[in-house]
Structure 1
Amino acid sequence: MLAISTILRDLPLKSPFRISGHVFESQPVVEARVTRGGHVGRGEASGIYYTGDTPAAAKQLLDGLQLDESISREELRRLLPAGAARNALDCALWELEAAEAGLPVWKLAGFSAARPLLTTMTLGADDPATMAAGAIGYAGARALKLKLSGDVDVDIERVRAVRAARPEVWIGVDANQGYASADALAPLVPVLVDCGVQLLEQPFKRGGEAALDGLKLPLPVAADESCLDLNELETLPGRFQVVNIKLDKCGGLTEGLLMARRAQELGLKLMVGNMVGTSLAMAPAFVLGQLCDVVDLDGPVFIARDPEPTVDYSGGDIWCPPDVWGPDAMLENRA
């Protein structure tokens, strides 16, 4: 049988992080490790809070698994549902296979090279002055993502304050399902245009996507909560122009890559995001990010301690060194 072990951790955040309807002070994660023939593979998952998919539940599922040592990632995809458990195990199998082949994961995934990626840095839905100060604090950032709350008057001031503080950066906004209707959103839209906002993410609730029918917005709209996995991609065209692929939602890099290619066939732009985690969680998403138009991989920025080795943030870019995840990873530093 495939040797699988799991570790449950709680990652304290540097400060409380606010989005529409939620405040986070820590982020639990589950790490899966697999061993075969002297090689080790690891994957980390945070789960999806709004579906009740928790790291603790993922650990329980993984601890009860008995899998043949030769199981493939595609077989795993058919065996487990999308979510944290499959994400952690799928990513562990990617690293295991890369170690066995002596290849970086990006090459195993079919890329001829890996490049640094421009990543957004996220500002929680705080008061406008705090968000403006945070924008200035991200001095090296060239792209910012603003969390909104659904309180349109405050959201307007948030957008204006950040744009005034950082007139030169790319800005996207994420409502996290905060708006109840198109009418509630309407006053915000001209402000987004006036402030040069380039992306509006998930304005309405999952299940309430019909609010976008016939709504002609002057900027692209991204689906996050409205699209969890490959099957749900088919519902997006005509309502969304961008899909935010998160490995915790879809269940790993294997399905993430399938989603990216199908989304391109459907004419959708690609975004990769994260649910907050260590560099170990960012590494497989960084591979997916090689295909993406928008990258939001700033999760380690929010945690109090990111175990070494870590991804590198420099000049507004994220770069994943080979010792973070793959054949060259320094496993002793992850104990």
Structure 2
Amino acid sequence: MEISARHERFELARPFVISRGSRTHQDVVVATVKLGDRSAKAECTPYARYGESIESVIKQIEGFSDVLAQQPDLSAKSVQQELVPQLPAGAARNAIDCALWRLNAGTNFPAPLFDIKQQITTAMTVSIDTPSTMAQQASDLCDLGAKLLKVKLDDKLIIERVAAVRSAAPECEIILDANEAWEHEPLTELFTSLNEYNIRMIEQPVPAGKDHLLKGIPHPIPLCADESCHTSDDLAKLVGCYEMVNIKLDKTGGLTEAIKLAQQARTQGLEVMVGCMVGTSLAMEAALPVASQAALVDLDGPVLLKHDRDNGLVYQDGLILT
């Protein structure tokens, strides 16, 4: 078995702005696994917030290739079950794990291995801007049939931005994503004020590692852990702070751990959301097995790109059509 990695860059349809900054393009890493005359590819998005870079992820994948060279007799399934879990959770392991899922599935993935819904409602993202511009983004997305909006926020003009989006999208379900930016906000008052706008969920209001700030804080709107939840090992510390977890394959280190995390989260009474880093349909497709069973889905990465891959997923009227 051979594994290789390469860097690819995709231009965004418009600048993408969250609380940590903005960008105009997305860099991804594509891993290719070859076994005999068969091969399969998978994509990951290195994330600087988690100490990753294109270079470090490629180095990890190439290092795993060196490990494989010393294990010539292992099957693809054995590699996935015995060697991949030894890698740290993150983008590199995600690309390797998902490429092996595809290799083991043969020509079709994720079917027939998983029962995939034919239509999956996905959030469409409103990035940070002035309230009026965010309202226009929301209106444009509604015109395209969006049913669920994910509104990015920082610690400025929170209510004004949410009010503007809600006014522009009165019929849409709305979730808010603070990306850890509300540590110094008066949370009780803020949560109460936001409840007026019929918000489905608020994602990661405080920094990872400071989740205890949420304990005992009244919140009529459910809270979702994102940066604070990578793998199933993180669940214990989230109890009493959140009602939902956002599962991303680039955090879990692949589909294998994502499935485990979803199952264990539900046993602890937590709802499951499936999210993504910005990427192409190659990455989104790998998350569909978990997304098909999730309460909320945010897999609009390809919609944010100027051009997706050829033969990518079909996005229509706020839905992923599989």
TM-score, normalized by the shorter chain, greater than 0.5: yes
Residue 130 of structure 1: which of 133, 138, 156 is its match? 133
Per-residue deviation, residues 275-308 of structure 1 (Å, max 9, x unmatched): 1001001001122101110000000111121111
Q: Cα RMSD (Å) of the superposition?
A: 1.5
CA distance in 1, matches of 2:100, 2:281: 17
Q: Please state whether the residue corresponding to 2:186 is helix, strand or coil.
A: helix
Give 1:165-204 correspondences, 5 Å limit. 165-181=168-184, 183-204=185-206
Residue 97 of structure 1: which of 97, 100, 104 is its match? 104
The aligned counterpart of 2:21 is: 22
Per-residue deviation, residues 194-227 of structure 1 (Å, max 9, x unmatched): 1101100000001111111111200110000011
Q: Please state whether the residue corresponding to 1:304 is helix, strand or coil.
A: coil
CA contact under 8 A between 1:77 and 1:255: conserved in structure 2? no
CA distance in 1, matches of 2:271, 2:110: 23
Offset of residue 103 of structure 1 = 5.0
CA distance in 2, matches of 1:39, 1:143: 39
Offset of residue 76 of structure 1 = 3.4
Offset of residue 3 of structure 1 = 1.2
CA distance in 2, matches of 1:43, 1:300: 15
Offset of residue 58 of structure 1 = 0.9
CA contact under 8 A between 2:192 and 2:219: conserved in structure 1? no
Alignment of 1:58 onto 2:60: no
Q: Please state whether the residue corresponding to 2:221 is helix, strand or coil.
A: coil
CA contact under 8 A between 1:55 and 1:84: conserved in structure 2? no
CA contact under 8 A between 1:80 and 1:86: conserved in structure 2? yes
The aligned counterpart of 2:153 is: 148
CA contact under 8 A between 2:94 and 2:249: conserved in structure 1? yes
Alignment of 1:120 onto 2:123: yes
Residue 93 of structure 2: which of 76, 86, 99 is its match? 86
Change (3 A) 1:104 1:19: closer
Q: Please state whether the residue corresponding to 2:101 is helix, strand or coil.
A: helix
Structure 2: which amino acid aligns with 1:300? P
Per-residue deviation, residues 84-126 of structure 1 (Å, max 9, x unmatched): 1100010100110011xx55424324x3x53311100011111
CA contact under 8 A between 2:110 and 2:288: conserved in structure 1? no
Aligned residues: 312
Structure 2: which amino acid aligns with 1:5? S
The aligned counterpart of 2:33 is: 34
Give 1:278-297 correspondences, 5 Å limit. 278-297=280-299
Per-residue deviation, residues 248-290 of structure 1 (Å, max 9, x unmatched): 0110001100100011111100000001001001001122101
Residue 272 of structure 2: which of 270, 273, 286 is its match? 270
CA distance in 2, matches of 1:315, 1:16: 22
Q: Please state whether the residue corresponding to 1:259 is helix, strand or coil.
A: helix
CA distance in 1, matches of 2:81, 2:206: 33
CA contact under 8 A between 1:48 and 1:249: conserved in structure 2? no
The aligned counterpart of 1:45 is: 44
The aligned counterpart of 2:220 is: 218
CA contact under 8 A between 1:142 and 1:169: conserved in structure 2? yes
Structure 2: which amino acid aligns with 1:129? S
The aligned counterpart of 2:79 is: 72
CA distance in 2, matches of 1:186, 1:45: 37
CA contact under 8 A between 2:202 and 2:222: conserved in structure 1? yes
Residue 319 of structure 2: which of 313, 317, 320 is its match? 317
Structure 2: which amino acid aligns with 1:34? V
Q: Please state whether the residue corresponding to 1:222 is helix, strand or coil.
A: strand
Alignment of 1:299 onto 2:301: yes
CA distance in 1, matches of 2:195, 2:111: 37
The aligned counterpart of 2:257 is: 255
Structure 1: which amino acid aligns with 2:265? A
TM-score (norm 1): 0.89
CA distance in 1, matches of 2:108, 2:234: 32
